[in-house]
């Protein structure tokens, strides 16, 4: 098949590689190169890098819905479009181009967590299970018919980065199964139940702000769900301190929520119903450190964060 693949970040890589290994005729459509890091180095999207390694033509558009984007898609004459974490909404004109439609690989068990942050949202909510869904894309936000699903448990300490890597691989496997059924004419379409739908927004840095008046598990889930980005943080003496990793603990303290306590070379954050151990953190302008190393240079016992 002639497949136009629309994707951008690491999550899309296994799906693109699966199509490469299938031997389909491919063209990649992705977002423009972006400045990355403090030095704002112009960096290509991961999908562009992988495509380049296999000599696959790449087109980059700020808006694939633009006249130029539509023209580029039409010129390729795809039988099918496949999207995976592309990061842009498609127009009706985009969707009318491939004769077999557009299949999306989405990182949740739809209709739950439609939107831009399904993997992070599942962890932050404390869900025990998530998965991937292949769906037929329409002009709504992840509202198209469901094709196939694959579920997987979420580990109690699993981070967004770790879960995203697992779901990306699972999504690639599900995409191959979906294409096999499509080609065999056995692919069923199941309309989503809008009454069961939930929507998740694109996360901002402020979404990582820790609320210590919440239970320790909720704070732990926020830390996991925002690692590595946007990263959980609290304000210490008015300055943000990033918290990358926490651990549930049985250590007991009588302090108010938001209090930091040191015990046995370990650092604890008091939450609404108990303590949470801080394993690694980073002060503003400093490097990320494990808590023990951090405390040797900056004692925190008795200080409070908000």
CATH at 191: 3.40.50.170
3-state secondary structure of 304: strand
233 falls within a domain: yes
- CA 217 distance to own-chain centroid: 21
Question: Facing residues of 304 across strands?
Answer: 259
90 falls within a domain: yes
188 falls within a domain: yes
Q: What is the pLDDT of residue 186?
A: 98
CA-CA distance, 111 to 194, in Å (whole number)? 7
Q: Are residues 74 and 193 located together in one domain of the fold?
A: yes
CA-CA distance, 156 to 297, in Å (whole number)? 31
- Give the residue from 200, 224, 245 where a domain finishes: 200
- Give the residue from 165, 200, 235 where a domain finishes: 200
Pairing between β-strand 239-248 and β-strand 274-283 as defined by DSSP bridges: antiparallel
- CA 19 distance to own-chain centroid: 21
- Give the residue from 149, 166, 200 where a domain finishes: 200
Q: Are residues 165 and 217 located together in one domain of the fold?
A: no
Structure tokens at 220: 């732990």
Domain count, the chain: 2
CATH of the domain at 285: 3.10.25.10
Q: Are residues 124 and 216 located together in one domain of the fold?
A: no
306 falls within a domain: no
210 falls within a domain: yes
Q: What is the pLDDT of residue 201?
A: 95
Q: Are residues 285 and 191 located together in one domain of the fold?
A: no
Cβ 5 vs Cβ 24: under 8 Å: no
131 falls within a domain: yes
Q: What are the CA-CA distances from residue 266 to residues 223, 269, 300 (Å)?
A: 18, 10, 11
304 falls within a domain: no
Residue with tokens 């909510």: 125
CA-CA distance, 285 to 306, in Å (whole number)? 19
Q: Percentage of the chain with pLDDT > 70?
A: 100
Q: Are residues 76 and 215 located together in one domain of the fold?
A: no
Q: Are residues 140 and 259 located together in one domain of the fold?
A: no
Range of the domain at 105: 2-200
pTM: 0.96
Cβ 82 vs Cβ 6: under 8 Å: yes
Residue with tokens 């127009």: 91
Low-confidence ranges of the chain (pLDDT < 50): none
Structure tokens at 259: 């209090």
Residue with tokens 């842009």: 88
Q: What is the pLDDT of residue 121?
A: 98
Q: What are phi and psi of 231, to 5 degrees?
A: 80, 130
Q: Are residues 163 and 41 located together in one domain of the fold?
A: yes
Residue with tokens 């592309």: 86
Q: Are residues 177 and 261 located together in one domain of the fold?
A: no
Q: Are residues 188 and 220 located together in one domain of the fold?
A: no
Biggest CA pair distance of the chain: 68
Q: Are residues 181 and 219 located together in one domain of the fold?
A: no
Q: Are residues 266 and 191 located together in one domain of the fold?
A: no
302 falls within a domain: no
Q: What is the dihedral of CA 275, 118, 30, 52, to 10 degrees?
A: 60
CB atoms within 10 A of CB 39: 6
Q: What is the pLDDT of residue 264?
A: 93
Q: Are residues 193 and 99 located together in one domain of the fold?
A: yes
């Amino acid at each position: 098949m002639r497949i136009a693949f629309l994707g951008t970040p690491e999550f899309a890589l296994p799906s693109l590689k699966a199509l490469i290994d299938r031997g389909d005729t491919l063209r990649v459509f992705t977002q423009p190169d972006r400045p990355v890091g403090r030095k704002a180095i112009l960096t290509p999207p991961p999908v562009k890098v992988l495509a380049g390694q296999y000599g696959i033509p790449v087109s980059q558009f700020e808006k694939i819905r633009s006249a130029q984007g539509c023209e580029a898609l039409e010129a390729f004459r795809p039988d099918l479009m496949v999207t995976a974490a592309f990061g842009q909404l498609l127009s009706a004109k985009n969707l009318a181009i491939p004769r077999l439609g557009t299949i999306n690989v989405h990182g949740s068990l739809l209709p739950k967590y439609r939107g831009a942050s399904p993997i992070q949202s599942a962890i932050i909510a404390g869900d025990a299970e998530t998965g991937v869904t292949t769906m037929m894309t329409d002009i709504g936000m992840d509202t198209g018919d469901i094709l196939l699903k694959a579920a997987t448990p979420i580990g109690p300490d699993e981070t967004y980065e770790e879960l995203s890597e697992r779901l990306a691989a699972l999504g690639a496997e599900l995409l191959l199964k979906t294409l096999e059924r499509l080609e065999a004419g056995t692919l069923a379409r199941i309309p989503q139940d809008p009454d069961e739908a939930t929507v998740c927004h694109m996360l901002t840095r402020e979404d990582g702000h820790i609320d210590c008046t919440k239970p320790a598990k909720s704070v732990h889930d926020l830390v996991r769900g925002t690692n590595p980005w946007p990263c959980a943080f609290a304000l210490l003496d008015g300055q943000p301190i990033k918290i990358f990793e926490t651990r549930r603990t049985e250590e007991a303290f009588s302090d108010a929520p938001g209090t930091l306590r040191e015990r046995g070379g370990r650092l604890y954050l008091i939450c609404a119903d108990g303590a949470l151990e801080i394993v690694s953190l980073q002060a503003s302008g400093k490097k990320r450190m494990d808590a023990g190393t951090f405390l040797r240079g900056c004692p925190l016992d008795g200080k409070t964060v908000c």
